[in-house]
Amino acid sequence: AGMHTSPCRDSFSKDQFTFEHYLPALVGPPRRGTPNLRPRVCHRLDFRVGGPVIVATTSEATRALIAAFSEQLVRKEYRAVVCGAVGAGAGDAFVVDAAVDGK
């Protein structure tokens, strides 16, 4: 929390590390493809709530992921573990049809 995902013009300084700076220690080099200079964050799901981050290690994967999100080809499905009664019985499925972040 409180860490930028990648450098941004508005709030990045030389003394401030981002999540991308730590990725080489967490993600190994690709086995195939044209490697990026370092692993690159392609998308952050629901960034306002600290959502998961999608990382690419090759230029091919970077281009494909960015295109898939910009063309709205990605389908997101969320699952939650809850305490208490939600449906009629334990394990029942239910749908929450509410906008997340205005979408």
Structure confidence by residue, pLDDT tens digits, 49-100: 567 788 899 999 999 999 998 999 988 776 666 666 666 666 677 777 777 6
Query: Which residues on neighbouring strands pair with residue 55, listed in sequence order?
Result: 41
H or E stretch covering 60: helix 59-70
Interatomic CA distance for residues 99 and 74, integer angstroms: 17
Nearest to 65 by CA among 41, 49, 47, 30: 41
Can you give the pLDDT at residue 53? Answer: 82
Can you give the pLDDT at residue 97? Answer: 75
41 and 20 in contact (C-beta within 8 Å)?
yes
